[in-house]
Amino acid sequence: MAVKSSGRWLVLAVPYLWLLALFLVPFLIVFKISLSTDAIAQPPYEPVFDLAAGWEAFKESFSALSFDNYSYVLSWDNEFIEAYGSSLWIAGVSTILLLIVGYPIAYGMARAPKSIRPTLLMLVILPFWTSFLIRVYAWIGILSPEGLLNQLLIALGIISPDQPLQILATNTAVYIGIVYSYLPFMILPLYSALEKMDDTLLEAAADLGCPPFAAFWKITWPLSLPGVFAGCLLCFIPAVGEFVIPDLLGGSDTLMIGKVLWTEFSVNRSWTVSSAVAVLLLMVLVIPIVFYQNLQAREVEGR
């Protein structure tokens, strides 16, 4: 488009400046505060950069910055490293479970007659529109010791009434919660990859005597890989920082970094340590995030 007008630049500038001010700048502030020390003041950290105090004072504030919060977070004496590790582990296991659960569903949907596909798609998206909190909450009633699952198992005589299954407040409950809440995010990219697939490829394979299972591994699976990557990243990255699910379904021994950050911030009231935790979490996730961005940019912008 050769048309140049101020309107054209406004369309670019408004969202650009908005995201700079409310997405990028906040990260710089988090980074700066992660290098500060806690103080009993408002705001509860120092140094506070104050340009009005003059250049000398400004320079002096710089020398007050330190990496103490990082050495605190990265020391083996504290639980943080363990929390990062167990968050990555829980998110990783959940992502694999999601793929195992989501793939057959997406595959079935892509095989379904064209006329019912939009309905199936809507049925997958519908739970996503209902509140995340509600969906997690629903599982408390099911998994608790006197909950519906135990009642059912007792009624069926599978377990005895005085020994109900302890699922709530364990990591198993966290896995169930993550798989349940993130399932639409896994199914949708898988479905869109599988739906685009050309069926004649499978027909050709069958004609040439390839058994269906081998055809699946040689044709369907490789062609669905973009969907697999997109789905896995879409689930894995937010799951690492998950807070609500481990808090409501997990036990006291469920260690996840999102919960640790929250506790550090709202219970221990250390803004500087929680900032350091956030910066390190971001550093752990930066590679998958960049990978996801590229995938998304290629998919959405059609480049």
Binding positions for other proteins, 49-88, rule CB under 8 A: none
- Residue 263: closest CA among 237, 243, 240, 282: 243
Shortest gap between Cβ of 63 and other proteins (angstroms)? Answer: 20
Q: Which stretch binds other proteins (CB under 8 A): 63-71, 72-80, 159-167, 258-266?
A: 258-266
Which tokens in the block code for residue 109? Answer: 């949907």
Residues 26-45 that bind other proteins (CB under 8 A): 26-27, 29-30, 33, 43
Which listed residue (86, 167, 189, 242) binds other proteins by CB under 8 A? Answer: 242
Q: CA separation (Å) from 95 to 38, 56, 143, 284? A: 37, 51, 21, 17
Nearer to other proteins, 207 or 253 (CB): 207
Residue that has been written with the tokens 């199936």 in this structure: 120
Q: Is 213 in the site for other proteins (CB under 8 A)?
A: no
Q: Which residue type occupies 153?
A: L
Q: Is 151 in the site for other proteins (CB under 8 A)?
A: yes
Q: Residues 16, 62, 217, 221: which binds other proteins (CB under 8 A)?
A: 16
**DSSP-based three-state secondary structure for 154:** helix
Among 63, 131, 160, 252, binds other proteins (CB under 8 A): 131
Count of residues binding other proteins (CB under 8 A)?
Answer: 100
Spatial CA neighbour of 139 closest among 244, 234, 56: 244
Q: Is 11 in the site for other proteins (CB under 8 A)?
A: yes
296 binds other proteins (CB under 8 A): yes
Interface region with other proteins, contact rule CB under 8 A, candidates 54-62, 71-79, 158-166, 272-280: 272-280
Is 208 a binding residue for other proteins by CB under 8 A? The answer is no
DSSP string spanning 48-112? ---GGG-HHHHHHHHHT--SHHHHHHTSTTSSHHHHHHHHHHHHHHHHHHHHHHHHHHHHHHHHS
Q: Does 212 bind other proteins (CB under 8 A)?
A: yes
Complex with other proteins: residue 52 or 76, whichever CB lies closer: 52
Binding residue for other proteins, selected from 53, 133, 214, 225, defined by CB under 8 A: 133
Residue ranges in 89-128 that form contacts with other proteins under rule CB under 8 A: 101-102, 104-105, 107-109, 111-113, 118, 120, 122-127
CA atoms within 13 A on the CB side of 15: 3
| 28 three-class SS | helix
Cβ of residue 131: shortest distance to other proteins, in angstroms?
A: 5
Nearer to other proteins, 78 or 130 (CB): 130
- Where helices occur in the chain by DSSP H, the ranges are 6-19, 25-34, 55-63, 68-73, 80-111, 117-129, 132-143, 148-155, 171-195, 199-207, 212-215, 221-240, 244-249, 257-266, 271-301
